[in-house]
Amino acid sequence: MLKSVALLAALFLTIQAANYCMKDKELSENEFFDQVQGTIFANQQNRVVAIECPDPKDNSTCLYIVDRIGYLKDGSWFVGRFLTPVPDLTKGFLSVSKLVKPVFKSMSTIDTATWMVDVGTMDAMTPNSVELSSLFTTGHFEMNRDVSGNITFLGVATGGLMSFFSTYFKNLKLTGIDIDPQSEYLAKKWFGYRDTKNSKILIGDGAEHIVEMARRGETSDAVLVDACHNHAPPDGIYCPVEAVRTPEFLKSLSAVIGTKGTF
Ligand SMILES: *[C@@H]1O[C@H](CO)[C@@H](O)[C@H](O)[C@H]1NC(C)=O
Ligand SMILES: *[C@@H]1O[C@H](CO)[C@@H](O)[C@H](O)[C@H]1NC(C)=O
């Protein structure tokens, strides 16, 4: 124990020394904010961090990773990350996460594109939050972090809800199915999602997955459906997609959740 503390201290000193050598001066909270706001955000509130186009020949498939500076009532600030279909936030957003501010504040850490995602924090006003809380407020799951069982996610978006569950509920087995491989890619690249022993993302047709589960007689304690179009579909109905509105799907769903499951 002592040895590892000493080792850590040595490592810390080495890192500090390296930073010193690189003239990477530690900035005060205010200096750091000024650099993030001025240099990285060019004094705007939002900025596009990346444009992700799964089909480079069809720009209507592009989604934007947008970081935005936010303020709390106590005057402190944070950075949120959004996934949106347009370069600004005028058309709403598909998902939002909070970023972790770097511990060592310097010129080399001002770029929010390199910050980690705080997967253990969720905005209470989002659909994810409603899905999460309703599993407990309805009495479906006991209000206890040791609760065990399994959840099937049809559509994983950026993996935010799965990440949150896997951070706090170690005894829940989580399976996400998404028809769009881009979801898993975005979840891992920009939104901090990691597969774990209890949390996996599969690429495939979620509706088909439920039909297959029913056929095999498998059950799930909860099936959460977040299967939506990313861009406006011709009929204007974003959610849920057609495949999870068919009688065959609903019949299978009913078998999969049984009398004790929830949807
Ligand atoms: C698609 O977007 C890229 C990058 O934003 C741009 O360079 C390109 O010209 C666009 N292509 C079309 C067909 O609009
Ligand atoms: C989910 O958990 C239930 C019991 O809570 C179990 O009967 C079922 O087999 C599990 N399903 C999967 C896919 O692990």
221 lines ligand 2 (CB under 6 A): yes
Q: Is the peptide bond before 102 cis (omega within 30 degrees of 0)?
A: no
Task: Find the 3 Cα to ligand 2 centroid distance in Å.
Answer: 44
Is 70 exceeded by the pLDDT of residue 228? yes
What distance in Å separates the CA atoms of residue 57 and residue 247, rounded to the nearest whole number? 36
Residues 221 and 181 placed together within one structural domain of the fold: yes
**Ligand 1 lining (C-beta closer than 6 Å):** 51, 59
For 184-219, write each residue's pLDDT tens digit. 999 999 999 999 999 999 999 999 999 999 999 999
Residues 102 and 222 placed together within one structural domain of the fold: no
Report yes or no: 160 and 37 within 8 Å, Cβ to Cβ: no
User: How much is the pLDDT for 27?
Assistant: 97
Task: Find the 247 Cα to ligand 2 centroid distance in Å.
Answer: 24
Total number of domains in the chain: 2
Least confident of 15-19, 39-43, 116-120, 204-208: 15-19
96 falls within a domain = yes
Please state the pTM of the whole predicted model: 0.86
Q: What backbone torsions phi and psi does residue 179 show, to the nearest 5 degrees?
A: -75, -20
* CATH code, domain carrying 232: 3.40.50.150
Residues 137 and 79 placed together within one structural domain of the fold: no
Task: Find the 51 Cα to ligand 1 centroid distance in Å.
Answer: 10
Closest ligand 2 atom, residue 152 Cα: 13
136 falls within a domain = yes
Residues 46 and 147 placed together within one structural domain of the fold: no
Residues 223 and 162 placed together within one structural domain of the fold: yes
**What b/e string do you get for 226-238 counting C-beta neighbours within 10 Å, with b at 16 or more?**
bbebbeeeeeeee
Closest ligand 2 atom, residue 213 Cα: 13
For 131-180, write each residue's pLDDT tens digit. 999 999 999 999 999 999 999 999 999 999 999 999 999 999 999 999 99
Cα distances (Å, whole numbers) of residue 170 to 96, 134, 233: 23, 19, 37
Residues 83 and 160 placed together within one structural domain of the fold: no
18 falls within a domain = no
Residues 83 and 154 placed together within one structural domain of the fold: no
List the residue whose alpha carbon is closest to atom 8 of ligand 1. 59
Our CA angle for 255, 135, 202, nearest 5°, is: 60
167 lines ligand 2 (CB under 6 A): no
Task: Find the 61 Cα to ligand 1 centroid distance in Å.
Answer: 11
By residue range, what is the domain housing residue 66? 25-114
What distance in Å separates the CA atoms of residue 64 and residue 259, rounded to the nearest whole number? 41
Q: Is 147 exposed, middle or buried (0-12, 13-18, 19+ CB in 10 A)?
A: middle
Instruction: Tell me the average pLDDT of the chain.
Output: 91
Residues of the chain with pLDDT > 90, as a percent, come to 77
Cα distances (Å, whole numbers) of residue 63 to 8, 79, 94, 166, 168: 41, 19, 10, 26, 29
List the residue whose alpha carbon is closest to atom 4 of ligand 2. 149
User: How much is the pLDDT for 24?
Assistant: 85
79 falls within a domain = yes
